[in-house]
Amino acid sequence: MIANDTKSVPAPFVLVVDGSPGARYRLRLALRRQRLEVTTVATAEAALALLRTRRPIAIFANRILPGMNALELLEVIGADPNLAGISLIITGSVQGWPLRELALRRGVLALLDSATELVELPVVLAAVLAARDTRPPHDDSPDLRPPRPDLPSGAGSPLGQIVATLASPLGAATGRARQLALHLTIAGAFLLGLFLLGP
């Protein structure tokens, strides 16, 4: 009998923060289908308590939460050197949200609208994993990344670069046109990924 020397690699850990039990359940199922370990909590405060003991590669937080909202959660995470570098994805009804661009400038990796999250989720996760894989490991602990560089926006992330690229030529366009352009870019990236992976 040949011994198996390969170590089983633990699934990447992600955290879902949403006040709606139904939304938490739906996103948890979708993330588990992507082979991720998922924990869900109802508030940002509960998320911060959990972050004292476990470090996810990404946090999916609804823009509207009981107590502290997703942007306030981002500020707390960014101010703590032990938490800096965790990718934050804002979920919920984000189409037409007046704080979309502010969120992206402050370092949010992506905005995942509840109406299209199942279609866009693989692309968002690819960006999360790419950001994690392109950084050198931070000691020997699993799923740890060094603090992100001090950037005023999420322009350093793959989706942040897409958004920054779209924002410049479409500066005078309406928010609806930008949203359409972003969806087309995400769809194109998804199709390119399918093409590169093959059958």
For the chain, give the DSSP string.
-----PPPPPPPEEEEE-S-HHHHHHHHHHHHHTT-EEEEESSHHHHHHHHTT---SEEEEESS-SSS-HHHHHHHHHH-TTTTT-EEEEEES-TT-TTHHHHHHTT--EEEETTTHHHHHHHHHHHHHHHHHTSPP-TT-TT--PPPP--SSGGGSHHHHHHHHHHTTTTTS-HHHHHHHHHHHHHHHHHHHHHHH--
Residue 44: predicted pLDDT? 93
Residue 63: predicted pLDDT? 92
Residue 188: predicted pLDDT? 63
Pick 13-197's CATH classification: 3.40.50.720, 3.30.70.20, 3.40.50.2300, 3.40.1670.10.
Answer: 3.40.50.2300
> Is the model's pTM score more than 0.75?
no
Q: Are 159 and 109 within 8 A, CB to CB?
A: yes
Which residues in the chain come in under a pLDDT of 70?
1-7, 132-199
Task: For residue 199, give every residue at least 6 positions away whose Cβ sits within 8 Å of its Cβ, in sequence order, or none.
Answer: none
Residue 15: predicted pLDDT? 96
Residue-range domain boundaries for the chain:
13-197
Q: What are phi and psi of 95, to 5 degrees?
A: -70, 125
Residue 195: predicted pLDDT? 60
